[in-house]
Copies of this chain bind each other. A is one copy, B any other.
Amino acid sequence: MTDTFDYHVLGIGNAIVDVLSQTDDDFLVAEGLAKGSMNLINAARAEALYAAMGPAIEASGGSAGNTIAAVGNLGGRGAFFGKVCDDTLGQFYRHDMRAQNITFDTVPLKKGESPTARSMILITPDGERTMNTNLSACVELGPDDIDENIVAGSAISYFEGYLWDPPLAKDAFRKAADIGHAHNRKVSITLSDSFCVDRWRDEFMTLIKNGTVDILLANDAEIKALYQTADLDTALKAIQQDCALTAVTHGVEGCFVIDKDGVLAVPTTPVTNLIDTTGAGDMFAAGFLYGHAKGLSNEVSANLGNLAAGEVLGHIGPRPQRSLQQLAEQKGLL
């Protein structure tokens, strides 16, 4: 891929502010929460859960949003479409994107309309995160928010699977995918979450099989959920038939990159200070997609992904606290 584009990666996703709190397994059980899941909740449930949970910190999040912020942090050119409200949290969100040099001009809702979305993220001592998201303003993202020029100028348009939850966003996806392909750009999605795969399996499968998706991102649980198999190898062989390029993260072991040539395992160095897995998959996507957009090999791109994921595991919050670009340069990856 040559560098004749305005943006390495355009991300489209739910713009969410994370409210992150450390807790214990007992609390998850008491609240009836499956560890590691993303739960969609309404305002009343959000209020009740917030009242019950411990002290928190707030950080801009959202899956594709995290990825695009990290593309900027890696030194790439990124853009983002996502719906916030022009309230305090929406202003934080916009700031945090623009401070990473990300183009983010989606028109926000007005104050008094739905507020900026929040996700209450409960982090257990094993580092796993369990998310409770009230989509509020995100529900309003639709086809009108797709800026054609930005899609046409982006090497890769990247969509989170969570976008299938709000009703209008999948129309936005279809519009953007068509524009991208009309300009010989690539379209990428992440499966986001195995529960999300259960909700939208048929639609995801269709998009993959009909060639709408050029690059698929998933973790091992999600790719197994897609093919409803307990065997990872089976799932990897199946996706090789169905998608041109797939990267599957595999916990502390690293990832697999699957294309027509086969399955490439790219190991990682497990972190010694696992605190919070929030955003790790999003960081992997950032490194992998940025590398791909720059024309780097699958192996180097996967190593960039592993590196970025490793950075966020060592602290609370979904986005890098150090310069990924510097870390990648030190490792000879950029």
Contact = CB atoms under 8 A, between A and B. Distances in A.
Contact of A56 (B50, B96, B115, B322): B96
B88 A56 contact: no
Contact of A53 (B55, B58, B99, B317): B99
Interface string A37-55: 0000000000000110111
A50 B88 CA distance: 13
B92 A58 contact: yes
Given A21-B99, A56-B92, A58-B58, 19 more contacts: A19-B92, A51-B95, A53-B99, A54-B100, A55-B60, A55-B69, A55-B95, A55-B97, A55-B100, A55-B319, A56-B95, A56-B96, A58-B59, A58-B92, A88-B88, A88-B115, A315-B315, A315-B316, A316-B321
Size category of the A interface is 20 to 34
Find the residue from A58, A316, A322 having the highest chain B CB count within 10 A. A58
A22 interface: yes
Contact of A88 (B54, B59, B87): B87
A21 B316 CA distance: 14
Contacts of A99: 21, 53-56
Nearest to A57: B59
A179 interface: no
Interface string A85-97: 0011100100111
A66 to B, nearest CB: 11
Contacts of A87: 88
A111 to B, nearest CB: 11
Nearest to A22: B321
B96 A55 contact: yes
Contacts of A315: 315-316
A28 B125 CA distance: 36
Find the residue from A54, A57, A97 having the highest chain B CB count within 10 A. A57
Nearest to A69: B55
A63 B19 CA distance: 22
A165 B206 CA distance: 63
